[in-house]
Each structure stands twice: as structure tokens, then as C-alpha cells.
Structure 1
Amino acid sequence: MVAAVYTKDLLHQIAPNRVEAEKRIGDLLSDYRDIAREHCDVAKEHRDIVMEDIQTQEEERRRQEEENCHQLFRLTHHDRDVTYEWYKDRVEKRVENTCLWFLQHEHFQTWVRQDSGPLLVSADPGCGKSVLAKYLVDEVLPQSESTIWYFFFKDQDQNTVRQALCALLHQLFTQKPCLIKYAVKEYRKDGPGLTNSTKSLWQILQDATRDPQAESVIIVLDALDECKESELPDLIRYVESQFRSDQCGKLKYLLTCRPYEAIMSKFYNLKGVFPEIHIPGEEESEAISHEIDHVI
């Protein structure tokens, strides 16, 4: 009887302590969970900061790589100005009321309206082909919705296909930076030597102009007859091949040269597709002579 009463009293003493202990343990566990959650949040914050830093470094590395690749195509010389802009700007500006014979020509009007295709302009020496090309590049063609790239060949100086392609690509990536990806892919393989690989340069230009983001493009190549003789056939062959593909996009070429049969004959195969490909300035002697007299 006495033992039972003692046990009962002991249970009454233990029970409140157990409840309090369980409460304290619960409180401690809750505190630990809060601390663990805080540590987890801090860890996530640190992880996000590290990932952001890595992403920033990667974007900076990519941006620098693209910039290096872009500037690679701007060929310069340490002791003189040989940029493609300089060769264009050294050509005299047209005199007012000249070049009108060309702008009014039916073939030019047709070419302007079409989405793609080449236009070959031939004329005898001294008839102002380069003056016309500069006028078109600076004043006429920019009025269209197309982007304009150009290259003015100069005998024994700026006369290689490699120089022409580098100039065109530099203008392309200046106006359409998003397309630099096509050059970077080749740049990672060839490095600075990329500008010496004509095949790779052609491939970059072709891939970029086919990209929908390139939209409408007009390429002006002046004085094909001053291109290095050994390289000219490949240049004409490539231009022709672009228009034999179903994926040429909205690409147009305007080419000027002297009326040499060796050059003109290379474009005859395209006449079936583009019957108005040629504007023979040598047959417009009366109109051109009138403009020359006006200049004099």
C-alpha cells in the first residue's frame, strides 16, 4: 500500500518534467531547423553569386573573343592607311546631274525591285565606274531597306579576294553583330590565320548571308578587272554559285568592270536566270560623253 502511494507520487513528479523536456527538445529542434534553413539560404546565395560571377566571366570571355575575331577582318598596315573605307573615299564624288544615265536604266530599275540577283555594269576606262559605285554606296542604295557592303579593287594594292572578303565580313559584323557566331566557329579552329584562308572566309560569308537575321543584303564590288588575275575566276565562280543555290536569301551583287570578254563571258551562264544581268555602259557612249563634258 505504501509502495503504491510512493509510485503514484513519483509518476506525478516525473510527468511534468518529461513534458517540459519534450517541449525543450522541440524548441531546440525548431531552432536547429531555423539555423539550418539560414545556412541553406546563405549557401544558395553564395552559390548564386559564384554562378553569376562565372556567367559574367564567360560572357566577358565570349565578348572579347568576338571582338578579337571581328577586328581580325579589319586589315591595316602600320605605316599607311589601307582600309577599305580609304580606298572608297579616295574616289571623287560625282558631279551633280551625272550618273543619271545609270539610275534611269531599265535594268537597274528591275534589279532594285527584285529580292536577289547580280547586276554587272561594264564601261570603258575613264567613264566613271568607280565614281558611280561610290555614289551608289554612299547615297542611292542606303535609301533601300538593305544593308550595304562594298569593296573597291585597286590593281597591285588592294587586289586580292582575301582582302575583299575580310572587308565585307568586317562590315557585316559591324552592322549585324549577332552573325559573328559564324566567324567565331572558324576563328576557334584557325585563330589569326583565318584571314589567310579564302575557303573559310567564303564559307563564313555564305553562312551569314543565308541567316534570316542578315535580311536583305547588297554587295558592291568595284573594278573586277583590277582584281588579281589568278584569283578573279574563283571570285566570279563563287558569286555565280551563290545564285545557283536555292538558299541565296535576299542577296544582291552590283559589280563593275571594264568590258573585257574574259570577264563578261564568265557571267553568261547566269543570263538564263537573270536576263537583265548586264548594263553595257560602253553602248551608252553618247549619254556618258555628255556627262563627261558636263564634268569638264
Structure 2
Amino acid sequence: MSALKKSLLHHADISPMSKGRSDFLRDLYLFDPGAAKDKFPPRVQGTCSWLLTHHSYMEWLDSDGPRILWVTGAPGSGKTVLSTFLIDEFQNTASPHRILCFFFSDDKYALQKSAVALLRGILYQLLLQNQDLVKHALVQWNVTAGKTFEELSVLWKICTACFDDPGLGDVICVLDALDECEA
């Protein structure tokens, strides 16, 4: 079991949560994002650390408000390795006011190649780390009898409401291989 899943399960086990909220999160869950990350081979020691001193990364990290750091490169150039490095880096420098979510798109696996799966994966991690945000989704979930998680437009509205919540704090989303996600 990945460290993220242990952390998320531990968090879910000790936090007071209504039956509706726990059912909601159980239905939202698709797979362990940490296990998807862990399937990649570890990076070679000393690689990737260049990014931490790159001016674009430092500017992105220090700026306020919504921002995107877009890393591009040819296939096989190490973008996924760089993504796993960043996830590890953010997990090792945890902050109580920062939420880390990540998703690895992969066109070889049904659960990792759709926009619905991507949003469900991000929402699951987000809602486990800030349970107050569940309020943005519970109404939709109750109205649709749990079918909320099959509709991209509804998931997008829930994500938007969560990210607009004034109590959210900083969120870092690492999204890898978006080109392998279905249009």
C-alpha cells in the first residue's frame, strides 16, 4: 500500500465523517493514485533536482494566485520521472496549508485515460485532505443517486466550486501525460 493511501486512509479513519460523506468518498474512489505513481521506476540519484533552481519553477512557486507550470518535452525525455520527483518533493516539504493532488494519465489503462477519471482522482484527494469541501458535491451526489461521478460537466462544476472555496488554501496538482487522456 502506498504511503499516500495509508495517509489518506488514516485521515479518513480518524476524522469524524457522516455516513453520507463516507459513502460519497467511497463512490468517488477509483484507484490509489500513489500506486499509479509507484509503478514507475525510481529516478537516478541526482537527477531532476535542476528543476528546483530553474527560474521558471522558482517564479511559479513564489507567485500568488492560480498559476500553471507547464513542462513539455519529447516522448521519453523524462517528464514522468520529473513529475514523480516533484510529487516526492512536495510530500517531503508538507505544509498544513497546502494540498497536493496528482494524476498520471495512461492510455493503456481504462481508469487512467479519461477526463472523468482525472477529475475523480483529483477530487478524491482534494476532499480527503479538506473534508469541508465535500459540501460542494454532496447535493449533486444525492440528487443523482451517486451517478454524479459519471458526468464530466458535473465533476467540473464540483471541482470549480472546490477551487473557488475561500477556505481552500494552496493546492498543487501534478498532472502527467495529459496527451494520453481522452479528448
TM normalised by structure 1 equals 0.52
Matched, 1:123 2:73: yes
Identify which of 45, 51, 64 aligns with 1:102: 51
Alignment identity in percent?
A: 31
For residue 105 of structure 2, what is the amino acid of its counterpart? F
What CA distance in whole angstroms lies between the structure 2 residues aligned with 1:142 and 1:209?
Answer: 23
Matched, 1:211 2:165: yes
Query: Aligned residue pairs: how many?
Result: 163
How far the C-alpha of 1:131 sits from its partner, in A, is: 1.1
What CA RMSD, in Å, does the superposition of the two structures yield over aligned residues? 1.8
What CA distance in whole angstroms lies between the structure 2 residues aligned with 1:71 and 1:127?
Answer: 36
TM normalised by structure 2 equals 0.83
For residue 58 of structure 2, what is the amino acid of its counterpart? Q
Matched, 1:177 2:131: yes
For residue 133 of structure 1, what is the amino acid of its counterpart? S
For residue 204 of structure 1, what is the amino acid of its counterpart? I
What CA distance in whole angstroms lies between the structure 1 residues aligned with 2:57 and 2:138?
Answer: 36
Alignment of 1:131-146 (within 5 A): 131-140=81-90, 143=93, 145=95, 146=98
Q: Secondary structure at the match of 2:138?
A: helix
For residue 222 of structure 1, what is the amino acid of its counterpart? D
- What is aligned with 2:22? 67
Say if 1:142 and 1:180 are closer, same or farther in 2 by CA, change over 3 A. Answer: farther
- What is aligned with 1:161? 115
Is the 2:100–2:171 contact (alpha carbons within 8 Å) kept by the matching residues of 1? yes
Q: Secondary structure at the match of 2:43?
A: coil
For residue 111 of structure 1, what is the amino acid of its counterpart? W
Is the 1:173–1:179 contact (alpha carbons within 8 Å) kept by the matching residues of 2? yes
- Which one has the bigger helix percentage? 1
How far the C-alpha of 1:123 sits from its partner, in A, is: 1.2
Stretches of structure 2 lacking an aligned partner (at least 5 in a row) = 1-15
Is the 1:69–1:187 contact (alpha carbons within 8 Å) kept by the matching residues of 2? yes
Is the 1:155–1:226 contact (alpha carbons within 8 Å) kept by the matching residues of 2? yes
Is the 2:113–2:180 contact (alpha carbons within 8 Å) kept by the matching residues of 1? yes
How far the C-alpha of 1:142 sits from its partner, in A, is: 5.1
Matched, 1:148 2:103: no
What CA distance in whole angstroms lies between the structure 2 residues aligned with 1:168 and 1:142?
Answer: 20
Q: After TM superposition, where is structure 1 displaced by more than 6 Å over at least 4 residues in a row?
A: none
What CA distance in whole angstroms lies between the structure 1 residues aligned with 2:73 and 2:83?
Answer: 12
What CA distance in whole angstroms lies between the structure 2 residues aligned with 1:219 and 1:205?
Answer: 12
